[in-house]
Structure 1
């Protein structure tokens, strides 16, 4: 592990009623301790999990539009507004890694194509060809398999966005290999991914943020109930 604790600098915040400081989970956050090589942030959209991930990426000096410290390009929606208001506690400090932001992955792929105009060899880190020449799911797996090989911290915002259930299972194997020499912090809605054994799961649907068991997450319970009682659920939804 590298990142041990996330500390919000409450005294630095001048207006706690402004976004993102008024998000309930962010408003009540003081410190969040990380104790596992794999940590999941779970919760509904708007619960603050992506906001905190972006702030961590910002403090790691990764491009908050997606990428590492060496990827310089801009996306309008990638501002990490919480970034200057947290402090990260390291042991030891790590500045290698990657921030995957699923919603701006297209822009990242275009950025790699621009770099490849001067250095075609860069594609060797992404499966040997442009990410745009691969399906969405293939491009994600190419990134995971080829770019995520070294020690570092990997911050992933909804990596399941392009992955079928079968490919999510394949990604579990990648997580398992990576965590042997890296730390992963993953925001996800996928009950498959968050089923990775011995990971810590932080629930952003509770205020303040608290740890939760896999079987107690809404994602697991709703998916299980639907699969076991599909006809009943569909009848209630559609009648």
Structure 2
């Protein structure tokens, strides 16, 4: 659908990742979208999610709330090629608008309804009555039920390193239940799922990398192995 793009000189089509994108194959288990800030990770993730039918601000396909329409129209110019196995569950997890999702759930649960409260699907407790990290993890543990497509944009934002490792375990449990993940992340821990594809977004487009080749892994490893030296160099550069 590139022939329908009005111009590649304006956002979001001027992003290198979009300008040079033709096709992108997703791993049947886990696909990672990584790269520096500003490379277009969230824009790409949002377009995939909206094209599938998810609300731009996150949640299941049953959510239609909108606090501010800031999503791009990129989804109108991509075509998803779906496999023969259709997911029975799905969720677009977006860290930056998760507060809005939690608020919407509380508001809907206050309305008269013959059904169970929505919060029961998230552990039975209001997401606003938990810490940020606890509410994130409640969604991963209680709402994600398997046989699903889960699109996660920076899920590590409120998770400690220990919880990030627990998240890896949860991802593996759900993969074993025929689930597929597409994850945008900066976390080398979350990138460590062994049977996965990593796409690194760069100013020149998209490249395939292993975990050990990513800047995220290399910089973190160098910092942990040479902390004092790196801090000294950082402070010296700042002083100069």
**TM-score interval for Structure 1 and Structure 2 normalised by the shorter chain:** over 0.9
- The answer as to whether partners of 2:12 and 2:72 remain within 8 angstroms in 1 is no
Rounded to whole Å, the distance in 1 between the matches of 2:229 and 2:69 is 40
Match of 2:105 in 1: 112
Tell me the residue number matched to 1:19: 11
Tell me, what secondary structure is at the counterpart of 1:76? coil
Mapped to 2, the partners of 1:170 and 1:35 lie a distance apart of 22
- Which secondary structure does the structure 2 equivalent of 1:178 belong to? helix
SS in structure 1 of the partner of residue 117 of structure 2:
helix
The correspondence of residues 77-88 of structure 1 with structure 2, limited to 5 A, is: 77-88=69-80
Match of 2:165 in 1: 169
Q: Which residue of 1 aligns with 2:188?
A: 191
Cα pair distance change 1:206/1:194, threshold 3 Å? farther
Matching residue of 2:142: 146
Deviation at 1:47, TM superposition (A): 0.5
- Mapping 1:27-176, distance limit 5 Å: 27-92=19-84, 93-94=86-87, 96-118=89-111, 119=113, 121-176=117-172
Following the alignment from structure 1 to structure 2, what is the Cα–Cα distance between the partners of residues 102 and 89? Answer: 26
The TM-score normalised by the length of structure 2 is 0.92
Long gaps (5+) in structure 2: none
Task: Single out whichever of 146-155 and 204-213 deviates more from structure 2.
Answer: 204-213
Distance 1:144 1:95 in 2: 16
Q: Report the CA distance between 1:232 and its aligned residue.
A: 0.2
What do you get for the CA RMSD once the two structures are aligned? Answer: 1.4
Return 5+ residue gaps in structure 1 as ranges. 1-8
Task: Tell me how many residue pairs correspond in the alignment.
Answer: 231
For 1:157 and 1:197, the matched residues in 2 are separated by 20
CA offsets per residue over residues 172-221 of structure 1, 9 Å max, x none? 01100111211100000000000111211001026231210110000000
Aligned partner of 1:4 in structure 2 is: none
What aligned pairs does 1:219-238 form with structure 2 within 5 A after superposition? Answer: 219-238=216-235
Query: 8 Å contact 2:122–2:143 — kept in the other structure?
Result: yes
Q: Is the 8 A contact 2:89 2:144 kept in 1?
A: no
